[in-house]
Chains A and B, each alone.
Chain A
Amino acid sequence: MPTLASENELLLPGKRTYKSIDEQLGDIVLDQSRHGKTWFTVFSIGFLGVNLLLVSILWLLWNGIGVWGNNQPVGWGFDIINFVWWIGIGHAGTLISAILLLLRQGWRNSINRFAEAMTIFAVMCAGMYPLLHTGRPWVAYWLMPYPNVLAMWPQFRSPLVWDVFAVTTYMTVSILFWYVGLIPDLATLRDRATSKPVRVIFGMLALGWNGGAKSWHRYMHASIMLAGLSAPLVLSVHSIVSFDFAMSIVPGWVTTIFPPYFVAGAVFAGFAMVIALAIPIRKWYRLEDFITMKHFDWMAKVMLATGLIVAYGYGMEVFYAWYSGNAFETALLFNRVRFGQTPYSWSFWALMLFNVVIPNALWLPKVRQNLTALFWISMSISIGMWFERYVIIPISLTRDFLPSSFGFYTPTIVDIGMFAGTIGFFIFMMFLFIRFLPMINIFEMKELWHHMKHHDKAHAASEAH
């Protein structure tokens, strides 16, 4: 078993000073010349996506939900698939920043900022869907409890109302947590800024941080409290999202295992997205010193563990369908799994391939150490998790109770455009973030360095005797 010292060595290898850490990380923001063609290319793709998103949304608002593929009996299609998918992706950020903080997992430090930003942008993408999927988005605020002359409240029994609370809470807490964590680094950037406007902007954002003991004391309190608030959200948000389905009576939706299985799925998808983003960015910004192979190893292990929970969930779904003796559940199961016999069975087997078969390669340490493999496995999981929602949401609806109303679901170009648009928006926001805010927690890196310099060395020295 590696000692703490050697572990920290793995997390922050090489010789450095506090200044070199500041330079390496802070200059990504302060020295704009570091963002070259790569940044511009990816950002442009993101920007095109944003435009595609805006066009899709305008077209949707102008015409109505009919521009999507939703129909009778499939009331929810790409809209809710993508909502759940994006929300799930967000979960890794909160898990890394909150739960791993509470569990004192030091290895989270170099990826947490980045993962939190990912959470916020993913929740933004997710949040668009429930709003826009309503037939009359201009009155979607009726889902909020607000005082009005009609004394009309939302209908609190509806899981959609719970969703509103869950997602807005999640968004608020995530933004707060992220921002609070940014303050010391913003102050560092303020102090290192060479031009006045930059100094002023970062100065305002740093909220008067002076690096004093009091500041640090308050910071530590705020951050641990927010972590405490966020930790249950990791579990609750996706549980509540899963209630949209689990609380219904639709065969294939009404399953008690949904809450834990959705949470595991969310962490699974979230880590996949963190890895998929971290690998290229690490390379482009030469952050090999901060995001090390050890990080990837840990993340891959988390991914494998949650992947196995998800696989167990799939197994239980099959088991329940059989064990319940419910004809509708059984029929739904056959509808999903009879390959080539039913219209959408291919998507179930695609899900199995992407989410169960391929991620099992992570058992091999060699795979966990191979970034190319890891990148493609993460991609496979992202696709697989999308298919999971595809299989659950519209495909369950295509065949529920009455064979007379069995139907089909085919997405339209607007569905695909809007999904591609949210991906573009996500990339757009991520790359703005990378350019204008420190993507790796500078002060926590320095803290780690401090540990290594003073405590680990002493510790290692004492052990050597």
Chain B
Amino acid sequence: MDTQEPKMLNLDEVRAKLADAQGPEYWRSLEEVAQTPEFEAWLEDEFPNRRSIAEIDRRSLLKLMGASMMLAGLGGCRSLFLPTEKVVPYVKMPEDLIPGIPMQFATAMAWNGSSIGLVVESHEGRPTKIEGNPLHPASMGRSNHFAQAAILNLYDPDRLSGVTRMGEDSSWEFFLRAARAALDEQKATGGAGIGILTPITTSPTLISQIARLQRVFPGARWAQYSPVHDDNVRAGLQMATGEELTPLYQMDKADVILSLDGDFLQSMPDSIRMARDYATRREVWNADVSNLNRLYVVESGVTITGGMADHRLAVRPETVELFARALATRLGVAVGDAPNSAEIPAKWLDALTSDLTAHRGAAVVVAGPQASPAVHALAAAMNQALGAIGATVTYQAPLSMAKGNTVEGYRQFIADCNDGKIKALFILGGNPAFDGPADAPFVGAMKTVPFSACLSTHANETTELVKWRLAESHFLEAWGDVRGYDGTATIQQPLINPLRDTKSAIEVLDLLLSGAGDGHALVQSTWKEMAPAEFGKTWDGWLNSGVIDLAILKQKSGAPIRQGIDFGPVPKPNGNVAIVMAPDPTIWDGEWANNAWLQELPKPMTTLTWDNAALMGAKMIQDLGVRDGDHVKVTEGSKEVTIPALLAVGMPDNTVMLHYGNGRSVVGNVGTNAGTNVYPLRTSASTGALYGTVEKASGRTDLALTQTHHSMEGREIVKVATVDAFAQDTRLVTRADEEAAEGMNMYPPNEEEFPFDGAQWGMTIDLNTCIGCHACVTACQSENNIPVVGKDQVLRGREMHWIRIDRYYRTAGIDPSDKGVMSKNVPMDDARDITDPSESKKDVLDPNRIQTVFAPVTCMHCEKAPCEPVCPVAATVHSHEGLNQMVYNRCVGTRYCSNNCPYKVRRFNFLNYTDNQAQFAEQRRFANAVFSSDKNAGNGRDMLRMVGNPNVTVRGRGVMEKCTYCVQRLNHARIEAKKENRGLRDGDVLTACQQACPTSAIIFGNIADPKSRVTKTKADPRNFSMLPQLNTVNRTTYLARLRNPNRNLENA
């Protein structure tokens, strides 16, 4: 045996050597780093340990062999007498936790320059479901599809972990050492070489952290950049008031709303709140229509706000401003020059002027973020003229610290990088390399910045270019704070330890400055500073309620609107094709591109999934000679994008709408090859519309649409009536149901055939308040473990959503006998009629005649369900509470039930979707997990399993599934009621779709209870069944949509 003792390693020496290391360096052992003579000898020797093998004696050899054999044998017996599963009870039980009973925590999510208050459900420490926080003024218990889908991001297998430097594994310690060195270098110049880039933020802690950094390094530059911003809004109000302000609308107080390109129901900040407020004025009970508001929308794209309009005018983007100028002039605002445009019907101006002035103090003009600053100023001036300020709108100081033109600020920031002024760049969130303006290329800037770091949850275009890639925590994993709506703040509390080696932005900043990096302490210290009196008493209360409701947080009203505003030059008419850019309705600015729920969520107006397209009106599609999916080349100046075309009948002529955020090049499994990147068209100068050309290009992309037929084909499926038609005939809506009930019926009466007892579940969906936003679809997907199927399966028509939003179009004013009843329209049959250039079709496709209706369709829970008698194995049966139940483990998968379902709400697992969701697409990850040390690889499946709702069965392949009315929630409520020894009360159960619905359009409850809300809605004269003539006796019914047109504009 070798008797020579190895020399002790000097670990300190090794550490010092490692600390100085730069770049990719590999070493085999600590001895190599220390470069000891022993190691040198070892390295020289081909078989360094051979002596010990040769010298082993017979007895030792036999002992070793014997022991090896015995242990190997024992190992083989392991499963015989040892359990293979580990069940570890809590040694120390966490406070309040009862296994099996989910806990709820309040938090908030930053969204679109504001925030959404949330309540998150956690099962044994595992967050599973996000709902709106009822106490939060911006969500009021409601949410949108982004909030609903945020939970999937937490468990995204593609999330980053730890730190990499130039693509090589590194650590936070290495990063901090390097970053501090880079900062120290800037000490001399007062931090003039330091650049911080963040998305537009409202976080008080982050803002104070950056302020702290700027105190140490006064020269440090901070730029805020988000591709979706409110620059034009603030600029417009600066024009109107001299101060940068943002509007806060109170839609519930408005009788008449005019929207100028303002998609306030979906894509504007605080849209949940605005949608709810708007919906309160669309609720009509017992035919009392006095509550109804009237919505006029003048828009250059297609949005759900336009879909909800009582009157919609589709105009080119520059005409929106001309329209605003013309209308403002009529309302007595000194506008100066207000040239006329052929696109503006005089009738519209007359009707609007009289309607708005007739509702002084209860009218509001809304302008969208992409409208020019002048439009915002004009809207403010019109609101002033209408006495709206203080009544339906207030102008308040912005929530974020963003000042001036953030895009210009970003361009300057990048220019500084290029000029070598910025030596140390810290990007805390955002993805400017993808979504930055084309004239400030991020790629070039990175060549000149010696130190750059980017904090991001996912690998993206930006993390590819910087030197240090840092993994960011999800908002459910870290402490933070956000503000929203009226200034209300929320503490974001972590529900789970970071799943990966990640840190939040405030932690990273704190680590750079002091080295503690304790998010909890940082947030606490911010609030101790902001509200020293309340902090001690109410910190727990803030966490509990999710709302910090302090007077100091309320945004102050800004300066009044000035008289004689200079609205700037009149936009010149432009003969080119107008290019309208808007964030993607489902994946937003690209941030959500790796979220499979959102990728597969149909975009409300087009039902397109997994892609974006150039949306064009019928005339333009005809003129170009393209069909849906054919590529077109959109050119603006020297920049061009090739993208599939898609018909959107509401588009104004000579205008194309592009959704940005798609086509990410560096993205996870889900977002790969999804859509086309249109950011290259956007420059810092063009925050509004662009002008260019569109021409046919070669190639095509199959577009995965979930609805290909847009007309009701003369079938009265969804009832829409004008207020007048409804007032003249209050049985207009219910007649068909009554006739069907009276008519011939082969079935025996209910009680003879099937006894119902207990609570009788039923649902009503109010089409007057359903805005088609799709929040319910994602909520249902999250609650019911609904798998994602991927683009190729959607193309085959196999999407799995249990609730879908049908969207029908109608062309108004074609049929003289048309009383505004939706089904009485000229059928538009697929693309064929669209490409029919005949004169008779011209009017049908006139964008200004197009009216839209949304109808969410779930399982109707028919009392005489056609699916039940055809199932050969009784896998779909009725419950005594009136649920049409699906027994998954009995289902053999004949699909007969689906064929026989008139509503086609049943969904079949054609393949093993649950285990093969798009997130798993790259099977290689498995191999990586097993064979490589890469911490980011693998464990995708296990991670994604965590997002599942433990109370809902996961369905395997070959099984039919469908809406259950959230039976798990019904059972939970029943158990709770029994525990309290009481019956079920109205409101005990909220289905997932109902809970998420921003406008409370879904009403659910016990129809056997005469006092319940749902029973009352079913007695309303607006109540109707879909396809009543089939006599299926549906438990889900609808409340008809009422249009409230201006008589002077109807028949326009």
Query: Which of A135, A327, A401 has a CB less than 8 Å from the CB of B958?
Result: A135
Query: Are B798 and A71 closer than 8 Å at their CB atoms?
Result: yes
A211 at interface by CB-CB < 8 Å: no
B857 at interface by CB-CB < 8 Å: yes
Query: Which of A67, A402, A407 has a CB less than 8 Å from the CB of B806?
Result: A402
Contacts of B857 in A (CB 8 A): 402, 404
Residue of A at shortest CB range from B906? A72
Contacts of A143 in B (CB 8 A): 872-873, 892
A248 at interface by CB-CB < 8 Å: yes
A370 at interface by CB-CB < 8 Å: no
Contact code string B702-719 (vs A, CB < 8 Å = 1, else 0): 000001111111110100
Considering only residues 710-733 of chain B, those with a C-beta below 8 Å from chain A are 710-715, 717
Residue of B at shortest CB range from A396? B899
Query: Which of B710, B866, B909 has a CB less than 8 Å from the CB of A249?
Result: B866
Query: Are A403 and B715 closer than 8 Å at their CB atoms?
Result: yes
Report the minimal beta-carbon distance from A393 to chain B, rounded to whole angstroms: 9
Contacts of B708 in A (CB 8 A): 406-408
Report the minimal beta-carbon distance from B951 to chain A, rounded to whole angstroms: 24
Contacts of A248 in B (CB 8 A): 866, 870, 896, 899-900
A134 at interface by CB-CB < 8 Å: yes
A164 at interface by CB-CB < 8 Å: yes
**Bound complex: CA of A408 vs CA of B894, how far in Å?**
19
Query: Are B903 and A403 closer than 8 Å at their CB atoms?
Result: no
Query: Are B907 and A63 closer than 8 Å at their CB atoms?
Result: no
Contacts of B959 in A (CB 8 A): 135-136
Query: Are B872 and A155 closer than 8 Å at their CB atoms?
Result: yes
Query: Which of B709, B710, B798, B870 has a CB less than 8 Å from the CB of A72?
Result: B798
For B711, B713, B890, the residue with the greatest tally of chain A CB atoms inside 10 Å of its CB is B713
Contacts of A134 in B (CB 8 A): 892-894, 958
Query: Are A404 and B707 closer than 8 Å at their CB atoms?
Result: yes
A417 at interface by CB-CB < 8 Å: no
B696 at interface by CB-CB < 8 Å: no
A188 at interface by CB-CB < 8 Å: no
B832 at interface by CB-CB < 8 Å: yes
Query: Are A406 and B908 closer than 8 Å at their CB atoms?
Result: no
Report the minimal beta-carbon distance from A50 to chain B, rounded to whole angstroms: 25
**Bound complex: CA of A331 vs CA of B872, how far in Å?**
30
**Bound complex: CA of A407 vs CA of B903, how far in Å?**
13
B904 at interface by CB-CB < 8 Å: yes
Contacts of B562 in A (CB 8 A): none
Query: Are A401 and B1027 closer than 8 Å at their CB atoms?
Result: yes
- Chain A, interface residues (CB within 8 Å), range: 35 or more
**Bound complex: CA of A67 vs CA of B806, how far in Å?**
28
Contacts of B581 in A (CB 8 A): none
**Bound complex: CA of A84 vs CA of B67, how far in Å?**
68
Query: Which of A135, A153, A161, A400 has a CB less than 8 Å from the CB of B957?
Result: A135
B240 at interface by CB-CB < 8 Å: no
Residue of B at shortest CB range from A130? B894
Query: Are A155 and B895 closer than 8 Å at their CB atoms?
Result: no
For B798, B869, B892, the residue with the greatest tally of chain A CB atoms inside 10 Å of its CB is B892
**Bound complex: CA of A69 vs CA of B894, how far in Å?**
15
Query: Are B892 and A75 closer than 8 Å at their CB atoms?
Result: no
Residue of A at shortest CB range from B804? A404
- Given A158-B870, A403-B713, the answer on whether A140 and B892 have CB atoms closer than 8 Å is yes
Query: Are A160 and B715 closer than 8 Å at their CB atoms?
Result: no
Query: Are B873 and A142 closer than 8 Å at their CB atoms?
Result: yes
Contact code string A248-276 (vs B, CB < 8 Å = 1, else 0): 11100000000000000000000000000
Considering only residues 869-922 of chain B, those with a C-beta below 8 Å from chain A are 869-874, 890-896, 898-900, 902-904, 906-912
- Given A69-B796, A160-B870, A249-B902, the answer on whether A75 and B958 have CB atoms closer than 8 Å is no
Report the minimal beta-carbon distance from A217 to chain B, rounded to whole angstroms: 43
Report the minimal beta-carbon distance from B459 to chain A, rounded to whole angstroms: 31
B interface residues, tally (CB under 8 Å): 57
Report the minimal beta-carbon distance from A6 to chain B, rounded to whole angstroms: 53
Considering only residues 952-982 of chain B, those with a C-beta below 8 Å from chain A are 957-960
Considering only residues 122-159 of chain A, those with a C-beta below 8 Å from chain B are 133-137, 139-140, 142-143, 152-155, 157-159
Contacts of A328 in B (CB 8 A): 715
Contacts of A66 in B (CB 8 A): 793, 796, 798, 910-911, 957
A64 at interface by CB-CB < 8 Å: yes
A247 at interface by CB-CB < 8 Å: yes
**Bound complex: CA of A397 vs CA of B902, how far in Å?**
10
For A66, A157, A404, the residue with the greatest tally of chain B CB atoms inside 10 Å of its CB is A404
Considering only residues 59-103 of chain A, those with a C-beta below 8 Å from chain B are 63-67, 69-76
Report the minimal beta-carbon distance from B804 to chain A, rounded to whole angstroms: 8
Query: Are A160 and B872 closer than 8 Å at their CB atoms?
Result: yes
Query: Are B896 and A75 closer than 8 Å at their CB atoms?
Result: yes
Query: Which of A63, A74, A249, A408 has a CB less than 8 Å from the CB of B1030?
Result: A249
Query: Are B806 and A404 closer than 8 Å at their CB atoms?
Result: yes
Contact code string A201-227 (vs B, CB < 8 Å = 1, else 0): 000000000000000000000000000
Query: Are B904 and A402 closer than 8 Å at their CB atoms?
Result: yes
B332 at interface by CB-CB < 8 Å: no
Query: Are A158 and B895 closer than 8 Å at their CB atoms?
Result: no
- Given A65-B910, A73-B797, the answer on whether A135 and B872 have CB atoms closer than 8 Å is no
**Bound complex: CA of A331 vs CA of B711, how far in Å?**
13
Query: Which of B872, B873, B910 has a CB less than 8 Å from the CB of A70?
Result: B910
Query: Are A331 and B713 closer than 8 Å at their CB atoms?
Result: yes
A405 at interface by CB-CB < 8 Å: yes
Considering only residues 96-115 of chain B, those with a C-beta below 8 Å from chain A are none
Contacts of A169 in B (CB 8 A): none
Query: Are B958 and A158 closer than 8 Å at their CB atoms?
Result: no
Contact code string A336-367 (vs B, CB < 8 Å = 1, else 0): 00000100000000000000000000000000
Query: Are A341 and B892 closer than 8 Å at their CB atoms?
Result: no
**Bound complex: CA of A69 vs CA of B1030, how far in Å?**
29
Query: Are B912 and A64 closer than 8 Å at their CB atoms?
Result: yes
20 A/B residue pairs, CB under 8 Å, sorted by A:
A64-B909, A66-B910, A72-B904, A75-B895, A76-B896, A134-B893, A135-B909, A135-B910, A152-B890, A157-B869, A158-B871, A161-B872, A248-B866, A328-B715, A341-B829, A400-B902, A402-B857, A402-B1026, A403-B808, A410-B796
**B interface residues, Cβ below 8 angstroms from A:** 707-715, 717, 793, 796-799, 804, 806-808, 829, 832, 855, 857, 866, 869-874, 890-896, 898-900, 902-904, 906-912, 957-960, 1026-1027, 1030
The 8 A-B pairs of least Cβ separation, nearest first, read A135-B893, A135-B958, A75-B895, A66-B910, A66-B911, A404-B806, A405-B904, A160-B872
